[in-house]
Amino acid sequence: AQTVTQSQPEMSVQEAETVTLSCTYDTSESDYYLFWYKQPPSRQMILVIRQEAYKQQNATENRFSVNFQKAAKSFSLKISDSQLGDAAMYFCAYRPLGSEKLVFGKGTKLTVNP
Amino acid sequence: GAVVSQHPSWVICKSGTSVKIECRSLDFQATTMFWYRQFPKQSLMLMATSNEGSKATYEQGVEKDKFLINHASLTLSTLTVTSAHPEDSSFYICSARAPGLLTDTQYFGPGTRLTVL
């Protein structure tokens, strides 16, 4: 079964600093998608970044970037210049090509300290 | 673009009554919608996949007679919790996926908090 593991239940970072959230996954598929979603206190799930497994280049969205290591099945999220508004639960998710289902990790709660 | 709404945002009901939650895609047509349940401080658990014009596909362990899903149009899916009990109290989230709009991405609604007394 495909699983997604987020080994850090909680993380904290100082405002303006950089933080990296870890995610590993287990799959036998070669083609799939990976996502990071943010869930702030409002509970609205927001797509942060997505990565196609066939692309070697790491995805980047402004202050958010990923380190995708396909062989290691690792998909970490780096948040640069952290802002107070980045405080939220962050969920890593996996979806194999040909399936509509997202498999979520258990989440990492990020606290940003002023 | 890709906005998904849910209504109501929160609802309190008495045990034994039924509650309907609506999920709408506002600016795109969603051929597939998904319903999740989230307990406090936990991840999202997929309940069912809803395809327009066909029966929903339920995940293992989800009672299809208790959680009725209808996807009558390309912009609306509904989840009805029938004969609700306190253990059904939870946060319910829908998401939608659209062809031609980053088809590999699900866009989420803001969720509905259900409290059953």
Q: In chain B, what residues touch A104 (CB-CB under 8 Å)?
A: 43-44
Q: Which residues of A touch B110 (CB under 8 A)?
A: 42-44
In 3-state terms chain B splits into helix, strand, coil percentages (rounded to 5) of 5, 50, 45
What are phi and psi for residue A77, nearest 5 degrees? -110, 125
Task: Name the minimum distance, in Å, from the CA of B81 to any CA of chain A.
Answer: 21
For residues B46 and B38, the answer to whether their CB atoms sit within 8 Å is no
Contact A68/A59 with Cβ under 8 angstroms? yes
Task: Give mean pLDDT, residues A23-32.
Answer: 93
* pLDDT attached to residue B102: 53
Q: Tens digit of pLDDT for each residue in A41-92?
A: 888 899 999 999 988 899 999 999 999 999 999 999 999 999 999 999 999 9
What residues in B contact A44, CB-CB < 8 Å? Answer: 108-111
How does DSSP assign A25-64, residue by residue?
EE-S-SSEEEEEEEE-TT---EEEEEEETT--SPPEETTE
Percent of chain A residues past pLDDT 90, beyond the cut:
82
In this structure, the strands spanning B19-25 and A64-69 are unpaired
d(CA B59, CA A20): 33
Q: How far apart are CA A100 and CA A96, in angstroms?
A: 8
Task: Name the residue among A35, A100, A106 with its Cβ closest to that of B43.
Answer: A106
In this predicted model, what pLDDT tens digit does every residue of B62-109 receive, in sequence order? Answer: 999 999 999 888 899 999 999 999 999 999 999 998 766 555 678 899
- Are B46 and B33 in contact by the 8 Å Cβ rule? The answer is no
Interface test mutation site (partner A, options B6, B23, B106, B113, max chain A beta carbons within 10 A) = B106
